Amino acid sequence: MAAACSNKIIDVFWHEGMLNHETGKGVFDSGTDPGFLDVLEKHPENSDRIKNMVSILQKGPIYPYISWQLGRPAQVPELLSFHAPAEYIDELVEADKQVEADKQGGKMICAGTFLNPGSWDAALLAAGTTLSAMKHILDGHGKLAYALVRPPGHHAQPKQADGYCFLNNAGLAVQLALDSGCKKVTVIDIDVHYGNGTAEGFYRTDKVLTVSLHMNHGSWGPSHPQNGSVGELGEGEGFGYNLNIPLPNGTGDRGYGYAMKELVVPAVHKFEPDMIVFVVGQDSSAFDPNGRQCLTMDGYREIGRIVHSLANKHSGGKILIVQEGGYHITYSAYCLHAILEGVLDLPQPLLCDPIAYYPEDEAFAVEFVEATRKYHKEMVPFLKGS
């Protein structure tokens, strides 16, 4: 394989300390042992998933296009740019002190979200590593950076943990971009779950366009009051700048591609961002235990290409990619590989899909996208008449 061109390099920001976040075993993500099962499974957000993502980038065919950068922990004052006021962070710091002193067990912060010894340090590493990746782009050292981080972050709201997330890594990076002179930032989130925390953080500003393509799961309790519906459009100056695309469960490559081209692309063109943050979760794959969508490597690759094209037109090619979910231990790594191939706009796939086959009927997705496009034209001020 020919050496990668310098303009086709992804700077991957990573720190192995993030593997020290232990999430335990139980019935899926509950942390419970009912007492009548011989084999308990690891919590879906475990370190094995990330180890495979690291290894496929080190050893897979994409490796010539990867430049490794060392992550670092965030300092508590940095967190307050998104997580303010400080009471929420103070609560997490105090909870960490308690679990570190106990050493016998952790603390459930909210459903499925466990703080164990080492978890807070890993969360600080995830936040700081994402901030470093954004600063790398802002300082002109590269155009494509990928924050390979855990624990994930896009469900963490300014004052609330949620859905395995303590700190909103992407939200912190968006705020850093704004504070550093970017006029407008677009967030495109393809995790199978609504990026409610990021949306909540920028719900009242017209400087950030948050777009989330997710399965139609609704609210899941006190930590996640948002329902991810098309009607959650933002408030005040931010009205119309939160676009939710809750695709019908079972949507696959063609349905996602249609939504990207008919809803996401026109909105980004109208918004004209000077920075794009691409929030990726491979839990929208056909084989993920935590999602009900049917993307394959081909679909992820095409989404990556579309984001690449948008960045070339609006942000000078600059894209920060932030890792979120993706819980199939092996296939998530393959889908990550495909996403990055797409973002690099490589002419041919580097890696074949080892398992994908799913008969897709995109009719429901197309019908939903058409109805959503009509709704956006009627309700979203900056899209009216587009």
From the candidates 15, 43, 136, 155, which is the catalytic residue? 155
Instruction: Put residue 181 in one of left, alpha, beta given phi > 0 → left and psi -120 to 50 → alpha.
Output: left
Rounded Cα distance, 354 and 357, in Å:
9
What is the residue whose two structure tokens read 């192995």? 16
Backbone angles phi, psi at 246, to 5 degrees: -80, 85
Distances 90 to 95, 129, 224 between C-alpha atoms, Å: 9, 21, 21
Q: In what order do the strands lie in the sheet with 275-280?
A: 66-70, 10-14, 144-147, 319-323, 275-280, 185-189, 208-215, 242-247
Nearest to 295 by CA among 281, 284, 306, 280: 284
What is the residue whose two structure tokens read 């962070």? 89
* 2 secondary structure, DSSP code: P
Distances 257 to 196, 253, 291, 304 between C-alpha atoms, Å: 22, 6, 18, 11
Query: Please, what is the Cα angle at 103 between 101 and 105, to 5 degrees?
Result: 120
Q: Compute the residue count for the chain.
A: 386
Nearest to 275 by CA among 77, 114, 78, 143: 143
For residue 10, with 0-12 CB atoms within 10 Å meaning exposed, 13-18 middle and 19 or more buried, which class applies? Answer: buried
* b/e per residue 96-112 (b: at least 16 CB within 10 A): beebeeeeeebeebbbb
Residue 141 annotated to the active site: no
Residue type, 176: L
Which residues form the catalytic set?
A: 155
